Amino acid sequence: MKAHIKLAIFRCLRCGHEWLPEPKRHPDGTIVRDFSKKPKVCPKCKSPYWNVPRGQKRGPKKGTVYKPREQKEEETRGLKRRD
Ligand SMILES: [Zn+2]
């Protein structure tokens, strides 16, 4: 029996790496992990697409795919797919 603990973690859809956001210590001693801020890249494989499912086609049509503001156009072009 595996106890499935529902824990909020980040999980890379590329390499399967799981991690927690960096804890921040408040002046009063409380440690808070901020899940609202999603990391830009997976800390393990450094993929900026760690939260993008693989099924998505490359060469997305303009205007149909949500694009994070900070994502650079060059990074999108430089992405190579390995199947
Ligand atoms: Zn990864």
User: Which tens digit of pLDDT belongs to each residue from 40-74?
Assistant: 999 999 999 999 887 766 655 555 556 666 655 55
Q: Domain boundaries in the chain?
A: 7-55
Q: From ligand 1's centre to the CA of 21, what distance in Å?
A: 14
Choose between 7 and 23: higher pLDDT: 23
Judged against a pLDDT cut of 60, whether residue 35 lies above it is answered with yes
- The separation between CA 5 and the C-alpha centre of its own chain, rounded to angstroms, equals 20
Query: pTM of this prediction?
Result: 0.49
Q: From ligand 1's centre to the CA of 41, what distance in Å?
A: 8
Would you call 23 helix, strand, or coil by DSSP?
strand
Q: From ligand 1's centre to the CA of 27, what distance in Å?
A: 32
Give the torsion through C-alpha atoms of 9, 12, 18, 21, to 10 deg: -50
Residue 69 φ/ψ, nearest 5 degrees: -55, -40
Q: What percent of the chain has pLDDT over 70?
A: 58
User: Which pair of tokens denotes residue 41?
Assistant: 């890249």
pLDDT of residue 16: 95
Looking at the DSSP assignment, which residues form a beta bridge with residue 10? 19
Q: From ligand 1's centre to the CA of 5, what distance in Å?
A: 22
